[in-house]
Amino acid sequence: MSVAIERNSSRYIPWIFVGGMAIVIAVNAVMIWLAVGSFSGLYTSKPRERGLAYNTVIAEQAQRDALGWRIDTAWRPDANRLEVVLLDADGKALAPSRLTAELVRPVEKRAPLAVTLVPTDIGRFAAELVLPERGNWDLDIVVERGNDRFAVTRRMFLK
């Protein structure tokens, strides 16, 4: 009788192995589905073209660095207020002819949030923001004055 019991239980062993493999395949399928549907890791819309023009990008950055401009940013969570200060190479307030800013979520595929910076003084700007989510944001700022263009990206934790 003990021989019959061993035979009945041993015939399920291959099915247990198949079931275990099915669980592994199902978990892997879910992980692949989540990976494909989440953030692609690409920051620019045309990364190949940007890579091919990398020397141009480096030259433009060197030209911006030569200006010596500085952009200081501050987030005031109690007032949901973003403050930006623009300084020239001598540390004096910089009055740009054009200033644009947008917030980009680095971990999500979502359209950037345009930030309307209002001048509060020469070289000082502020914006009242209602963020859809708290967390890490990239603040992309572009300052133009005459033919000079200066761009900077700051990673900020906004709550």
The answer, yes or no, to whether residue 1 has pLDDT greater than 70, is no
Tally of structural domains, the chain: 2
Residue 105, domain CATH:
2.60.40.10
> Across the strands, what pairs with 128?
81
- Model confidence band, residue 64 (pLDDT cutoffs 50, 70, 90): confident
> Across the strands, what pairs with 126?
83, 118
Query: Is 42 a domain residue?
Result: no
b/e for 66-82, b at 16 or more Cβ within 10 A? Answer: eeebebeeebeeeeeeb
Q: What are phi and psi of 60, to 5 degrees?
A: -65, -40
- Model confidence band, residue 143 (pLDDT cutoffs 50, 70, 90): very high
The pLDDT of residue 4: 52
Residues 32 and 87 in one domain: no
* Domain residue limits at 117: 47-158
